[in-house]
Structure 1
Amino acid sequence: MTDGDAGSEGRSEPDEALPEDLDAVRDALVSWYEADHRSFPWRETDDPYEILVSEVMSQQTQLDRVVAAWRDFLDRWPTAAALADADRADVVAFWSDHSLGYNNRAKYLHEAAGQVLTEYGGDFPETPGELSELMGVGPYTANAVASFAFDNGDAVVDTNVKRVLYRAFAEIRNADDPDYETVANALMLPGESRIWNNAIMELGGVACQKNPRCDEASCPWREWCHAYQTGDFTAPDVPTQPSFEGSRRQFRGRIVRLLGEHDEMDLDTLGHRIRVDYTPDGEHGREWLRGLLSDLADDGLVQVEEGDDQMTARLQ
């Protein structure tokens, strides 16, 4: 990896973040997806209205819960025209009854259907830029609809895709400011946004989860994946768990266990019992121990009493 120009320090050129055998990487992912993938009804249609409904419903909602709601919604309002003609209160009530999250999404979806009729003559716009003009349709949703309805989008980059890219490519992991969008678009099969975005999102949802299932899900990128080769599966949404040994969590646990064995203990006796290098005026001394006890008191676990000569602690 080489340094970029002055405006992109810490970033790599997209080609440098990709494996040399790019065609093999692409073919492996698409073949894996086509051989077996989760079945969702919106993957069986290219109707932009139906896809838009699925995308809006899927925001922060588990996909398995969306399926029934999506079918019920389309049974009631099968087209953008039908939705535009509906009473907005009915649409919001449906959203609430099906526990689909923020009711504003229902209002925006109703408004977007009206825009399609009045501003586009009933025909959905086909590019991400035009779709983003619809009410409540942000860049991600606009690109998803363009991809899945019209095969006319860029690479989709959601949390799952970022996790895949971060784990798979060392250059992404090592960059100070990873340019996920640029790398994702360089990786995507040109002109194949529908199949590609479905495939890489499936990879993140099935194989490259927060707790990875590389072998169980037969991840097609194992031979290229940096995380699989090194065993380091951290990612932007999967922080490294701080070490327990020597942590505040460890000493808080020791305090609670000791106080459970004794009615009460004074500060220095407790300190010497929980760590061998305790010295009252040292780095791990009274001030450090008071901080731990204060945390435990805030949690309602410990009661601390200040006397004339000493501080004592007991369990609540």
Structure 2
Amino acid sequence: MTDDAVELPADLDLEAVREALLEWYEADHRPFPWRETDDPYAILVCEVMSQQTQLDRVVDAWEAFLERWPTTADLAAADRADVVGFWSGHRLGYNNRAKYLHEAASQVEAEYDGAFPREPDELQELMGVGPYTANAVASFAFNEGDAVVDTNVKRVCYRAFDVPDDDAAFERAATALMPDGRSRAWNNAIMELGGVACTQTPRCDEAGCPWREWCGAYASGDFTAPDVPTQPSFDGSRRQFRGRIVRTLREYDELELDVLGPRIRVDYNPQGEHGRAWLLELLADLETDGLVTLETRDGEPVARLRR
């Protein structure tokens, strides 16, 4: 073990730890369909969709998206409004992620001749692809990624090996744990461990956690872990109403402000708390994202979906 891995116990049998986890994962894991492919496009779609959505809910949306746009060429050629409408209709989070995914597909076609870059640094050149997503695609599509460090992995490392609650420490520990040349299998396995066994309320024995013999939390009974960020409620959120605006404009193409308002909120009142000023703020956000245009006709604001 190198000096960079000092967060792990000095006497930890790394080979035994690795073998135990990989055998556990291979014996039984959740059968998500994106785990059965090494298509970088399909994996990218999954990673973007799952940023704000439970994995169980992603399955239907992912399959429907790929049925409609099975390749980057298909997505790049699609009408952006249709892609955004799909995203909003499936409640997949911020609509600008759909716009970025559409633009990333165009980049792959125009700049890479339809072939995805393989390295995390190259993948980050794609629109909307940050370090985590780039590394996930490199791992799951090409088996050429680094250790993935998400909330589940942090929780596992903190509990099992007493890794300090520090991002750099988690990165070093996760890197030291991952066997060379196994990023696809390993990253799937350790995230699965955090997703089904080392959950916020641990299920060590029920899930047959393969790390119980090494786990400090299991030995002590202290299962505290770093706080897990919670998503704000979708109902009543700005995201919800932004999505309604996009869906409504897809149906009507363009609407005056006071015609649009009641279609997205039943208690819309032009002069009220949820009136013109509130609606204009939402439309301004969508305009900034390149999804909507606002213009004035005969003194009245008109919203139109950008094509």
Match of 2:8 in 1: 17
Q: Which runs of 5+ in 1 are unaligned?
A: 1-11, 240-316
* TM-score, normalised with respect to structure 1: 0.69
Per the TM alignment, residue 16 of structure 1 is displaced from its structure 2 partner at its CA by 5.4
Would you say 1:203 and 2:227 are equivalent positions? no
Pick closer, same or farther for the CA change 1:110–1:238 going to 2, 3 Å.
closer
| 1:271-295: CA deviation from partner (whole Å, max 9, x where unpaired) | xxxxxxxxxxxxxxxxxxxxxxxxx
Q: Following the alignment from structure 1 to structure 2, what is the Cα–Cα distance between the partners of residues 177 and 135?
A: 25
**Change in CA separation of 1:198 and 1:74 when aligned onto 2, cut-off 3 Å:** same
Q: Which residue of 1 aligns with 2:179?
A: 189
Q: 1:91 aligns with which of 74, 79, 83?
A: 83
Aligned to 1:82: 74
Distance 2:78 2:214 in 1: 51
Q: Deviation of residue 176 (structure 1)? A: 6.9
The structure-2 alpha-carbon separation of the partners of 1:29 and 1:98, relative to structure 1 and needing over 3 Å to count, comes to same
- Out of 111, 114, 123, the position equivalent to 2:106 is 114
Please say which structure displays the higher CA radius of gyration: 1
Structure 2 Cα separation of the partners of residues 125 and 178 of structure 1: 26
Looking at both structures, which has the greater relative contact order when contacts are Cα pairs under 8 Å and sequence separation is at least 6?
2
Superposed structure 1 runs of 4+ greater than 4 Å apart? 175-178
Query: Quick one: percent identity of the two aligned structures?
Result: 74
Given the alignment of the two structures, is residue 44 of structure 1 paired with residue 36 of structure 2, yes or no? yes
Q: Decide whether the 8 Å contact of 1:37 with 1:202 is kept in 2.
A: yes
Deviation for aligned residue 1:109: 0.1
Query: Does residue 65 of structure 2 align to residue 73 of structure 1?
Result: yes
CA gap of 1:220–1:121, structure 2 versus 1, over 3 A, is same
Does the Cα contact within 8 Å between 1:210 and 1:237 map onto a contact in 2?
Answer: no
For 1:193 and 1:99, how far apart are their aligned partners in 2?
Answer: 31
One-letter identity of the residue aligned with 1:103: N
Q: For residue 92 of structure 1, report the CA deviation from its aligned partner.
A: 0.0
* 2:127 pairs with 1:135: yes
Distance in 2 separating the partners of 1:104 and 1:60: 13
Structure-to-structure mapping, 1:209-288, within 5 angstroms: 209-237=199-227
Separation of aligned partners in 2, 1:216 and 1:61: 25
| Whole-angstrom CA distance in 2 between matches of 1:189 and 1:91 | 38
Maintained 8 Å contact 2:84/2:99: yes
Secondary structure, counterpart of 1:155 in structure 2 = coil
Give the Cα–Cα distance (whole angstroms) in 1 for the partners of residues 122 and 166 of structure 2: 33
SS of residue in 2 equivalent to 1:179: helix
Tell me, in whole angstroms, the C-alpha distance in 2 between the residues paired with 1:78 and 1:178: 37
Residue ranges of structure 2 left out of the alignment (5+ in a row): 230-307
Q: Determine the C-alpha separation between the residues in 2 that align with 1:89 and 1:60.
A: 21
Count of aligned pairs: 226
